[in-house]
Amino acid sequence: MIEPSTNKRPGNPVGVLITARELNLGGVERDVSKIAMGLDRTRFTPHVATYKAEGFRYEELRSAGVPLLHLPLTSLYSAEAMRSARKLRRYIKDHKIQLVHSYDASGVFAAPVARASRVPVVITSQLSYRAILDPRTRNLLRISDRFADAVLVNCEAIRQYMIEDESVSAGQVELCYNGVVTSDFYPANGSANARPEQIADASLVIGTVCAFRPEKALGLFQEAFAKVLAVQPESARPGIKLLLVGSGAELPGLQANAERLGITGASVFVPATRDVAKWMRAIDIFALPSYSEAFSNSLLEAMACGCAVIGSRIGGTPELTGSNEERGLLFRSGDVDEFANKLARLSSDPALRRDLGAKAASFVRANLTIEIAVQRTSAIYDKLLTRKLKK
């Protein structure tokens, strides 16, 4: 692991340009915003470029005084792309950018332009498995790997995947875990954190907060919940709620599935919201049954809020929960019966929920805060800049 750097760089701070396709409510967008705002201004001058000049994180960065570059780009194969490339090259030159770091697939555009502009350090990021992407995007990302001095990943599982499956050299892959803002995400404190109106009368809330995409396997979640609900005493059932917070193309299918399974009355759907922490603190058991997951911001935030968590044994999830379930329970991806058994176990054991939640929150505060993530990112920047600028 790279240790945080405390070196003060002599002379002017280094110009850093971070890129992302958009800056709204997603986990990647949150990381871009918090890293850009958290970088030490005595060492770095952060800038952020995005395809869309709008969104919650866009406004957050603008309010914080971080310079923003709008690169209007909808296709790599267009006159618009050529204009955006010229605009980016001018910006790099005018602002003396020495490091470009792309946090998502914006790297397929930004990395080659940065390399052509002779930027000393170019970093791309791979924060998920590429199998969930379309073939064209996968191929473009593999091309962008060749332009990068380093590929940043957010967990050991993705580090191994990039080396073993994507043939990126081990020395090119840099590991930096996500971090959470613990001043926003912290455990509930009794009546001070009363549940939102939609679930105010619930005796037990089982839920998740995520984008409603196929890889999140929310239909499996509904099936497991229905199994747990069916074995509860009839008098207890009205108080048990399934809370799904998020938006996406899967929503109509999930609503229809709730009706098919007979759990519509127990299901609460809440659209994607900025106030994620409020809903996290309302959840007793947080589950993430994804069939593809790297290092989930949503799971990390739930743990910071003291939820008892359950996740599928894939990607970086065991790195969060502990591979031996020290801080959360795990089940085989796609195994609805094992998932239901884990849900039932936590549902019937309040002491276990409290114990796992406390251990999870403590682990996050000690190891996975946004401050630690900023320090690790800065150390990676320092290492690569020192290596390249000495040549």
Q: Count other C-beta atoms under 10 Å from residue 387's C-beta.
A: 13
Q: Give tens-digit pLDDT for 318-346.
A: 999 999 999 999 999 999 999 999 999 99
Percent of the chain at pLDDT > 70 equals: 96
Give the pLDDT band of residue 7 (cuts 50, 70, 90): very low
Domains in the chain: ranges and CATH: 14-178+369-389 (3.40.50.2000), 190-367 (3.40.50.2000)
Res 81: pLDDT: 94
Is residue 48 scored above 80 in pLDDT?
A: yes
Q: Pick the more confident residue, 316 or 389.
A: 316
Is residue 207 scored above 90 in pLDDT?
A: yes
Res 11: pLDDT: 64
Q: Pick the more confident residue, 391 or 264.
A: 264
Res 391: pLDDT: 61
Q: Average pLDDT, stretch 307-323?
A: 98
Res 194: pLDDT: 79
Contact of 228 with 262, CB cutoff 8 Å: no
Q: Give tens-digit pLDDT for 288-297.
A: 999 999 999 9
pTM: 0.93
Query: For all residues of the chain together, what is the average pLDDT?
Result: 94
Is residue 3 scored above 50 in pLDDT?
A: no
Give the pLDDT band of residue 26 (cuts 50, 70, 90): confident
Res 193: pLDDT: 62
Between 38-42, 99-103, 158-162, 187-191, the lowest mean confidence (pLDDT) is in: 187-191
Is residue 32 scored above 90 in pLDDT?
A: yes
Q: Give tens-digit pLDDT for 351-388.
A: 999 999 999 999 999 999 999 999 999 999 999 999 98
Res 296: pLDDT: 96
Q: Look up residue 387 and give its two tokens.
A: 């290596």
Is residue 1 scored above 80 in pLDDT?
A: no
Res 27: pLDDT: 87
